A = this chain, B = another copy of it.
Amino acid sequence: MAEGQKPTINDVARISGVSKKTVSRVINKSPLLGEATRKKVEAVIAELGFVPNLQARALAMGRNFLIGLIHDNPNAQMVLGVQEGILDTIRDTEFALVVHPVNRHSPTLADDIRRFIEQQRLYGVMLLPPLSERDDLAELCRDLGCTLVRMGSARLDDDEHLVASNDRQAVSEAVAWLVELGHTRIGFVAGPEGFRSANEREQGFLDGLAAAGLTLDPAIAARGTYRFESGKAAGEKLLSAAEPPTAVFSSNDEMAAGILHAARERGLNVPEDMSIIGFDDTATAAHIWPPLTTVRWPIRTMASTAAAKLIRPASAASEPSFFLSDLIRRASAVPHRS
């Protein structure tokens, strides 16, 4: 037997007096198997502490048990939420989660991803925004024979390969909330051009205004990069307008924090002088002052569903693809004082 080594299927077979194949059947829960032999083999497995070698299985079956997560760190909280969501699904399976952060501005991005998938021979991969918006990368994964699920904020793919939040509707509801609070002069800070999420949120913002019979004054609109500094710059622009907004929607929380700083540096009070709503509900949102009203999307649930679509492709289409976000009402948005 194995001396100090890990027991193999041969050890199990010999000790329980059956063939390798029979043990294999037990492991794989084959239906056609005598109850007695099954019990017997299971006992030996437990006694020996036998754990099937996944590398060997992978080799024999021509597929392995690795799910890849490829992203360009949109935001730490989100990436971690995704990882936890995926683990929720695969925890009691043989699958494992392999992460691969990349730099989307790298000229070797595609090669980097290709190499990762080929080398590890991934079973499936999950792409996070903004990478998930690039059809060329999606095609690359497929060419490599790797199932793919994309996470995004719009219909980037068909139901079997997508989990998405309805950003457009969520933002429109956030605007409705500002309108309900009495605001009519509402500023807007957009996300970076070329980002699908930025686009969706902008559309949602305009939807919200339109529903209230309002329009956007370009003097109180700006475009940012989703980063703090750009939010601050945008805030400065909006606040220096001839007629500043009484409320602002920022396309993400980090920029909202920047807007807050811009307001503070001008000696303005938030929310008294201006209400702010963000998007993402990052950790920062609840920790800044005032606590930020923001849109929370169910990252973990979405990621968990995405993983299910990956490891059970058969039932992928029957899993939901679209998820609703919640408006988290905190102190940064208050009634307009007329």
Contact = CB atoms under 8 A, between A and B. Distances in A.
A337 to B, nearest CB: 20
Chain A, interface residues (CB within 8 Å), range? 35 or more
A27 interface: no
Interface stretch (A31-39, A113-121, A312-320): A113-121
Contacts of A219: none
Contact of A98 (B51, B98, B264, B288): B98
A257 interface: yes
Given A284-B283, A288-B288, A288-B289, A84 B55 contact: no
A241 interface: no
A286 B116 CA distance: 34
Interface stretch (A11-19, A74-82, A124-132, A209-217): A74-82
Interface in A274-307: 282-284, 286-289
A142 interface: no
Interface of A: 51, 53-56, 58-59, 64, 66, 73, 76-77, 79-80, 83-84, 87, 91, 94, 96-101, 112, 115-116, 118-121, 228, 254, 257-258, 260-261, 264, 282-284, 286-289
7 contacts: A51-B119, A54-B121, A76-B76, A254-B283, A264-B289, A283-B284, A289-B289
Given A66-B96, A76-B79, A228-B287, 14 more contacts: A55-B59, A73-B84, A79-B80, A87-B99, A96-B100, A96-B120, A254-B283, A261-B289, A264-B289, A283-B283, A283-B284, A284-B287, A288-B288, A288-B289
